[in-house]
Amino acid sequence: MESIITWYARWIREGKLPVTSDWNAELRLKFTVQDPCQLVRKSLGDSIANDLRFVVKKLVGEENFVDMHPNKSNNYCCGGGGGALQAGFPEQRRAYGLRKRNQILATGAHYCIAPCHNCHSQIHDLAEYYGKKWHTIHLWTLICLSLGILGENERAYLGDELAALGL
């Protein structure tokens, strides 16, 4: 089994996916990344986490990546997986996610990249609920932004500094 993230890393290394971090050279926006439970901790481990960081650094610039601590296989769950988003207990889910909120805030990042849809929904909700201290972005959205092909209708989760970039 391989993740699309491994393929992204492979294609970037082979020059088949010509991403760039040039768009962030002047903005210098800081990004962190969520390690999804199912992908990293429960299946593919640190090798996929390393591929994820390789891709992210190519997208945003190595100097603009701030890792969470702990990270990779030791990172904390966001609290949104395993049906928690659909279970109907938002107060409990948010209380559990408080640890993730604090972890993201400690990075000082403007954006948290979430390659998992459950993580994205939970982390976005945590940001909204606890005062919008960061934006949540899908990995694919960032790839498209880097390639200059992000559509006008695909910018719902971007902050003002990125919402019109490349249009």
Closest CA to 66 of 22, 94, 105, 39: 105
Does some domain include residue 1?
A: no
- Paired tokens of 41: 């901790």
Domain count, the chain: 1
Residue located via tokens 């945590």: 126
The band of 150, judged by pLDDT with boundaries at 50, 70 and 90, is very high
Contacts of 113 (CB under 8 A, 6+ apart): 31, 32, 33, 34, 56, 137, 138, 139, 142
pLDDT tens digits, one per residue of 83-141: 777 888 889 999 999 999 999 999 999 999 998 888 899 999 999 999 989 999 999 99
- Residue 104 belongs to a domain: yes
Beta carbons within 8 Å of 131's beta carbon, 6+ residues apart: none
Residue 161 is given by DSSP the state: H
Strand ordering across the sheet containing 111-114: 31-33, 111-114, 135-138
Q: Is residue 13 part of a domain?
A: no
Q: Which amino acid is at 122?
A: Q
pLDDT of residue 84: 77
Residue 130 included in any domain: yes
- Amino acid making up residue 145: L
The CATH number linked to 129 is 3.40.50
Looking at residue 113, its pLDDT comes to 96
Enclosing H/E stretch for 138: strand 135-138
pLDDT in tens, 11-70: 999 999 999 999 999 999 999 999 988 787 878 778 889 999 999 999 999 999 999 999
Q: Determine the pLDDT at residue 167.
A: 76
**What confidence score (pLDDT) does residue 40 get?**
76
Residue span of the structural domain in which 56 resides: 18-163
Structure confidence at residue 145 as a pLDDT band (50, 70, 90): very high
Backbone φ and ψ of 79, nearest 5°: 100, 5
pLDDT at 57: 98
